[in-house]
Structure 1
């Protein structure tokens, strides 16, 4: 029986008789480092948890199913997943990467991958044609869509077409939308990466990362890499992500519903210069999103009139935490300049639009009225501070 997405969030492929026969509704945590062999040259299918573990395998099967892929690999963090993925490339290889990526990815590419002989050409792939930058050494195109934090939207099918015409891999970071709203492999991508810490886990309580693919050659390479570098996800963390995925669809819908209402609040605030959200009609990526995704997600970036206002908002919210990360049940407010993109060179940050007046909001599943009240009082706190300064000056 072919299971629908919401059911697969709970059961995956519903095929785990070889590792579980107690009838437990919650898939067990196999908290073991090693497994007993039935005899010489014989195996239960599990030998050592660095190679594979039943809990991790179950999680990997669930995510592969949700992304309509043949295989997924679960890592100890999103950055561990991307680091391992870079091992499929050789010194001298070149990648074309979008200019507006998560700061941790940029830090990895600039300081580790470059050291290992891999060169990156960064361009705005929501505007520029990558064909102008392809050389004989180019091996892949690497994108996020929507991008972090400026919410640029890239046409995955168009990038896939260009990649295939030039014998390149297309790698898509699908963290912001999750497989609930977007499936890049269905659109022609070769590899999908996720920070499982975010929407997949959904509770701000563990770290995880994924590499997902249907390409047999990449599956073989990643199978060797994950057992060799030893950064596979631990059993308990695997179980936490399994638990989180059970409510993925419900959380994504509620968070998006809240996001639309918060976008309207921000648009009506005179101290907000611009709201970056692909669900706004007129956003240059709106029509592409409608074509390639089933929703717009719950990530919002917005620019206020000054850095002083941005900093006042960050210290004045009473409900919404000022914290890094995203995609959890709790709404989080982030300052990209000093947090997610602190290690990105200033000229690149500014060119991408990440000024010290830009805030990023990961909308959670709280009562949206409470969230709007909290944001409103944070804006008003700045007005009160401003009045106090004027009175002192008088």
Structure 2
């Protein structure tokens, strides 16, 4: 497919040529574990066993690479499986990683409770502060891990500047692009070495499939990821790949609607008497607004805010919404509300990554904006 084609054209067509046998315009679900070989070592299309490769997954991986501007994509059983594979494939015991001091709770748990037992070291630093990241690096630093926007505080990291810093120190840069999606942000073009996703979120977009992804440009990195992808085996199944690929087709139009609604909701919350602070990079008051404007197409569908009346009021608010569903995860067509301190980021309690107790996180869906505002208005009463 020609590189000059637009995002949604690539999302709909990359890796998804009509089936040569039937003409089907949607890649079929290859629900098979193994493949007939034409003699010993004679593979048809390179397929031998579906952990190593499956045509439905290949279609998804080709599309993921195309929409992220990479050369190779890899589809996993979950976002954390993708993250774990990055660590195992590219790092060794004794290596050091700088992570955000407000990283996703699951990412923090992976580093703090799993990777450290394997001998990996990490330092949490504010990735909005270039000097702080530089100070956190040492002779063993092999990787800088970036989320932007971060989960759940919506902080913005300057990918280009951090990539330049890391590369001068011979460290790789990984960007978790889950919150922004490939439609709004292209980290590889800004200097990142790898992009990771929970495809469960905006890429899948319908809260009906769990998955993860890695996209890379460098051939050596791709080969290392491919080896561990197969060796560790946390691959996306064919039906999950099919659902994720279906979601990608509408990613552009969905993200535009998510952004439209989030901008309206953020302005409403910013003017509400019960709201102490709104964290949304689309607001001019957000400290990362200018950087986000430089590296993102728009500002996304995620909002966090602090309730002026404290933790219990924040918890009670989450129970009162009717259109916003109380639930973990994000990025689906339906709006969700949650209390990070007691839900998605409970694993960070008592650590330097602990989130404010009065924080509420919204995943703003694609419903009618007036209904979302009415729901928040009554819940904030």
The residue number in structure 2 matching 1:370 is: 371
The residue number in structure 2 matching 1:388 is: none
Cα deviation 1:164-187 (Å, max 9, x = unaligned):
111110000000011000000000
Q: CA deviation at 1:14?
A: 5.0
The residue number in structure 1 matching 2:325 is: 321
Is contact 1:197–1:207 with CA below 8 Å preserved after alignment? yes
C-alpha separation between the residues in 1 aligned to 2:224 and 2:351? 36
Q: CA deviation at 1:349?
A: 3.9
Normalized against structure 1, the TM-score is what?
A: 0.93
1:103 aligns with 2:105: yes
C-alpha separation between the residues in 1 aligned to 2:372 and 2:227? 46
2:243 to 215, 240, 243: 240
Q: Secondary structure at the match of 2:380?
A: helix
Normalized against structure 2, the TM-score is what?
A: 0.96
The residue number in structure 2 matching 1:280 is: 283
The residue number in structure 1 matching 2:60 is: 59
Is contact 2:96–2:140 with CA below 8 Å preserved after alignment? yes
The residue number in structure 2 matching 1:176 is: 179
Does the C-alpha gap of structure 1 residues 347 and 222 become closer, same or farther in structure 2, counting only changes over 3 Å?
A: closer
C-alpha separation between the residues in 2 aligned to 1:263 and 1:133? 33
1:163 to 166, 172, 177: 166
C-alpha separation between the residues in 1 aligned to 2:106 and 2:312? 26
1:337 to 320, 335, 341: 341
Gaps of 5+ in 2: none
2:197 to 194, 198, 208: 194
1:265 aligns with 2:268: yes
C-alpha separation between the residues in 1 aligned to 2:234 and 2:223? 16
Q: CA deviation at 1:282?
A: 2.7
C-alpha separation between the residues in 1 aligned to 2:121 and 2:352? 17
C-alpha separation between the residues in 2 aligned to 1:16 and 1:373? 45
Cα deviation 1:150-198 (Å, max 9, x = unaligned):
1110000001111111111000000001100000000000000000000
The residue number in structure 1 matching 2:221 is: 218
Paired residues, what number? 375
The residue number in structure 2 matching 1:124 is: 126
Q: Which has the larger radius of gyration?
A: 1
C-alpha separation between the residues in 1 aligned to 2:241 and 2:250? 15
Gaps of 5+ in 1: 381-394
Is contact 1:91–1:117 with CA below 8 Å preserved after alignment? yes
The residue number in structure 2 matching 1:12 is: 14
C-alpha separation between the residues in 1 aligned to 2:42 and 2:238? 23
The root-mean-square deviation of aligned C-alpha atoms, in Å, is 1.2
Does the C-alpha gap of structure 1 residues 162 and 16 become closer, same or farther in structure 2, counting only changes over 3 Å?
A: farther
